[in-house]
Structure 1
């Protein structure tokens, strides 16, 4: 089997063969934002770059990115859920008075991380954040396991989340900007790694928490309550390994679409040509062809680029990227609806998943199930279901029969809402587990598609900023979820009813999105 055939085989292991049997000519109808009157020169150059990426096709480079960018998804969910698993035992040991403090700490870190890494991705490029964000997260995750008190644990938790918080901004952008148009649905499948992170932390909790957890604050010591610390130590070590693999397995090149916005036509050609040469693929793009399109910028020529301010390190740079997300009426509506969707799921997701250990414990107790071993076993089973939600989501997003990405989100949100309402009526321990498994499977259909949809419809020059703000809004509502959970009481069904109602609103918002990426290429 030659190199080209091997790469096709690898691509086939990631996606259903039926999905990858492409009638590309009928599938790809043009660039999503190609008809928007922003910068006609940049649009023309973007079309050439998209044509070239499709000409090169799927290679081993994209295969590596699928796995290495997937690590970022896994780490984000890992760090987010560690605190929900470990906070109660750490609170006993440190005699904390505000148990939801760790939830707020992790969401503050992720909020700041999303904004910082998102903006930096548009200012200095995707490469820097991709290479160092996981390393930062791993160092502080390991340190969190050795925390001497509640406040220091919150600090390390926050700093670890700051590192991981930018990954969902970068991972989707980097993978998308190297993907041929017909493979963009794999961005939805990438969310399966989120479930891998959930499962990992669930298995660690199952392994350590039942054996090394104290029962009350009077008897808690490092020795008899080290289960939560071991979860942090092992998780941090895993993240460290992932961060090393990211810089050794693939030496990431700056994405061609970022370079195009920078006006670096020669580097765009160099990056794409190097991939084509390495994998023995054709590449007809030349600097002359790009330059023949003209010079990007405003029609009146007042500024050389629409992608940056005159001074990259000024407040004006933020203004340029924010304004670019409202460059036309349709782009502005799309941006606003995307951010609103992230606000909604930012409240619904943590109200369920972050407080899931409490739901399992309180409802298990109602049915006479009090074993900590069974509780954490069930938690691992529920989180495993999250891996599989993005798989049908990718198929549905790819298929016109499910109305593309918008239809997939509508279906996923409605089904999730139905099972949330049903979950409030569980009457046995088995029903408790079954419904939580189904809910976790279904909500990842919507969530995984939204993660993919967001960067697909954002302008490339402002993708990091738009994605970063979206995820930051999500994290802000995560902070609010801790406050709501504190007053609404997670031992009742009230938070579940709130989640169900929010998913109905999400389905309505998804139906209103002005752009549908199915059959089109991202800018």
Structure 2
């Protein structure tokens, strides 16, 4: 009897949209198309409701609401890369002034620890209490501690505040793609990859702040016998103050430009159908768009079982009896492995994030030292010239997600998986070629090329991850994926401290990792091209 009701619900929702509606606009041509995870049969009722929600979002189309989210969620991308690069910018100038007598790579560990905890905390909490809280508060947390870090009296305090700033930005990044995706018409899913351009924008801003303050307000040569104190060496503090102020403005824009409502897909997983329908009807009314979804049609599908296999039903939401419990965490983890195919997909995604998390930091750590041991004629540049090159390299990472977005929506490039394969392999080629750099011009050129090519892979992976995760457990899976990346960042600092950085082996290992990334992308079991996120 239950199966007959589900079948009827599926038939009803598929037959609801009239032929005229399906072809009335470009936004509506995808109404009724398949949902990515619906064939996994974890929860047929939830699948039916998600299909209705996807139909409604496609019917409404792309509005100024989604456009606002593109910019406001893009701020999170920018802040994550901004905070990540700040520690590498300020550490060489703060170290001689604060005289820690300790670990030179301490800031690297601090920022990755903060981002690791932030990704796990906000990722898990977003599946428990909702998406909008991280959206509203994470950037504010990051901005406050970034500003306070500029007044740090010693190395340990600086590391603490950098970690706290990273806690906010790293956690926010988990929700950027999730929130945007869950409001996004399927025809515009490629813009999720395009959002990675904000990552490059954050790096570019960090380079501009360094270019503006470091050359004119710093000890001449970091680490030498110059007298470095707050009066002679305030440049790194100015960088933190300026960056924190910018992030504060972004955080205020998030709560003033848009009053974010909880995403409809999260509400459906919670069993809150009325709120989900009300949210979509609100957007449709505000922007004068059609929306035929009604509460009666949602309720006709039945009650969801929380995204667990049908033989273990007993809850009407995707939660344990006590939300603040290990059982709650276990439920969301189990939800990522409910079928063999879904478990394989989750494992390969986490593995990919682990690989890129190790390869890219090691490249940054080892390559300059390796080049010096091979007689590269680098250096001799003024600080202003160095930061000019730095800003140029970061600028090159902005347009590559635009190219990746075009590739992702084209069958010529095999969709998302093909784009990641191409991006990883091209990056590998430039990694190997980079070992032959001998001049400043070559160094700058190859740095720009790698910055461009790497973001084709990175930007696509960022978008692909939430697309293939089930809604009820999307933030958890995304948070753990990014957490794997942060763990490898910590390991890279340890390797840089104790490994022999004068040999070519680490460089070739980093390049070879990109071959493994491309093979992993080819093995992904789901391809979002032509389907809608569940």
With the shorter chain as reference, the TM-score category is: over 0.9
Secondary structure at the aligned position of 1:387 is classed as: coil
> Aligned residue for 2:87?
83
Aligned pair count reads 503
2:463 is aligned to 452
Cα distance in 1 for partners of 2:394, 2:118 equals 25
Q: 1:495 to 1:377 in 2, by over 3 A?
A: farther
* In 2, Cα distance between equivalents of 1:495 and 1:375: 25
**Aligned partner of residue 166 in structure 1, secondary structure:** helix
The answer for the alignment partner of 2:21 in structure 1 is none
> SS at the partner of 1:425?
coil
Listed as ranges, the matches of 1:22-421 within 5 Å are: 25=29, 29-96=33-100, 97-214=102-219, 215=221, 216-217=224-225, 219-297=227-305, 299=310, 302-305=313-316, 307-353=318-364, 366-421=377-432
State the TM-score, normalized to the length of structure 2: 0.91
Q: Distance between the aligned counterparts of 1:174 and 1:368, measured in 2?
A: 44
* CA RMSD between the two structures: 2.1
CA contact (8 A) 1:306 1:320 kept: no
Deviation of the 1:488 alpha carbon: 3.5
Q: Any conservation in 1 of the 2:42–2:310 contact (CA below 8 Å)?
A: no
Return the offset for 1:29: 4.1
Query: Secondary structure of the equivalent of 1:211?
Result: coil
Q: Which stretch has the larger CA shift, 276-285 or 210-219?
A: 210-219
- The 1:328–1:72 alpha-carbon spacing in structure 2 relative to 1, beyond 3 Å, is same
1:410–1:446 CA contact under 8 A, matched in 2: yes
Output the CA distance in 1 between the equivalents of 2:503 and 2:243. 31
How far residue 28 of structure 1 moved from its aligned partner, in angstroms, is 7.8
What's the counterpart of residue 439 of structure 1? 450
Partners of 2:376 and 2:438 within 8 A in 1: no
> How many Å apart are 1:366 and its aligned residue?
2.8
**1:314-372 deviations in Å (ceiling 9; x for gaps):** 11100110000001110000000000000001111222357888889999973352422
The structural deviation recorded for 1:132 is 0.1
Contact 1:364-1:429 within 8 A present in 2 as well:
no
Superposed CA offset, 1:96-150 (max 9, x none) = 3311100000000000000000001000000111100000000000011100000
Relative to structure 1, the CA distance from residue 359 to residue 257 in structure 2 (aligned partners, 3 Å threshold; closer, same or farther) is: farther
**Structure 2 counterpart of 1:8:** none
- C-alpha separation in 2, matches of 1:320 and 1:209: 49
| Closer, same or farther: CA 364–520 of 1 in aligned 2, 3 Å | farther
What CA distance in whole angstroms lies between the structure 2 residues aligned with 1:518 and 1:27? 15
CA distance in 1, matches of 2:381, 2:410: 45
Distance change in 2, residues 1:493/1:213 (3 Å): farther
TM-score (norm 1): 0.92
Task: Tell me the distance in 2 between the aligned counterparts of 1:44 and 1:372.
Answer: 60
Q: Report deviation, 1:469.
A: 0.4
Asked if structure 2 preserves the Cα contact closer than 8 Å seen for 1:273 and 1:283, the reply is yes
Q: 1:152 to 1:363 in 2, by over 3 A?
A: farther
Deviation at 1:491, TM superposition (A): 6.6
8 Å CA contact 1:28–1:521 kept in 2: the answer is no
Contact 2:28 2:59 in 1 (8 A): no
**Alignment partner of 2:529 out of 507, 515, 518:** 518
> Which deviates more, 343-352 or 83-92?
343-352
Is structure 2 residue 507 aligned with structure 1 residue 502? no
Matches of 2:334 and 2:201 in 1, distance apart? 36
Pairwise CA distance, 1:177? 0.1
1:60–1:489: structure 2 CA closer, same or farther, 3 Å change rule?
Answer: farther
SS in 2 for 1:515: coil
3-state SS of paired residue (1:35): helix
Aligned residues of 1:137 and 1:162 also touching (Cα < 8 A): yes
Q: Aligned partners of 2:376, 2:158: CA distance in 1, in Å?
A: 29
The CA deviation string for residues 493-520 of structure 1, in whole angstroms up to 9 with x for no partner, is 5543232111111001000000000111
Q: Which has the larger radius of gyration?
A: 2
Q: 5+ unaligned residues in a row in structure 2: which ranges?
A: 1-24
The match for 1:10 is none
With over 3 angstroms needed to count, the CA separation of the structure-2 counterparts of 1:56 and 1:484, relative to structure 1, is same
